Amino acid sequence: MNIANLAQNYLVLDAMTKGFFSVSLSDFVGLTKSLDYNSVSKYDGVNNSWEITLSEIGSMLVGAGHGASNNMAFSEQVKANVRKNGGKMIASVVLIPIAFKYGRKLLGKPLITPANRLLKPAGVRL
């Protein structure tokens, strides 16, 4: 797997988590949960009822609730997020691979080939 494919896959997954769960991929899996923003954590253990994280899904599966402040069902939250973010998600999922495909073709010889030569000793391939 090369760097361009990893970047493309990350962007597509990020668009999907924003579409379905209204949070970025890193927020969804909890990577940014403990980061400090102005001396407080990003969520302080809670977020708004439209944002769904993987830990909230796990809590819901074991019966501990899913963190919504109102009694909205999980499926209703996802439906509301898709209504709000679905168009952008679908456009991103379709357009990101196209952009990477033609971007590689446009940048192939003048940029990617010299970069591959420089990165080859490190075992990295674009």
Domain edges within the chain: 3-122
Higher pLDDT, 42 or 99: 99
| CA distance between the termini of the chain | 9
69 contacts: CB under 8 Å, gap ≥ 6: 48, 49
Q: In the prediction, which pLDDT does 57 show? A: 84
Distance of CA 18 to the CA centre of its chain: 6
What pLDDT does 50 receive? 78
Compute the distance between CA of residue 6 and CA of residue 125 in angstroms, rounded to an integer.
11
Q: How confident is the model at residue 106 (pLDDT cuts 50, 70, 90)?
A: confident
DSSP 22: S
Give me the pLDDT at residue 13, please: 95
pLDDT digits (tens, 9 = 90+) for 36-89: 555 554 555 555 667 888 888 888 888 766 555 555 788 888 999 999 999 999
Burial (CB count within 10 angstroms: exposed 0-12, middle 13-18, buried 19+), residue 126: middle
What is the C-alpha separation between 103 and 125, in angstroms, rounded?
16
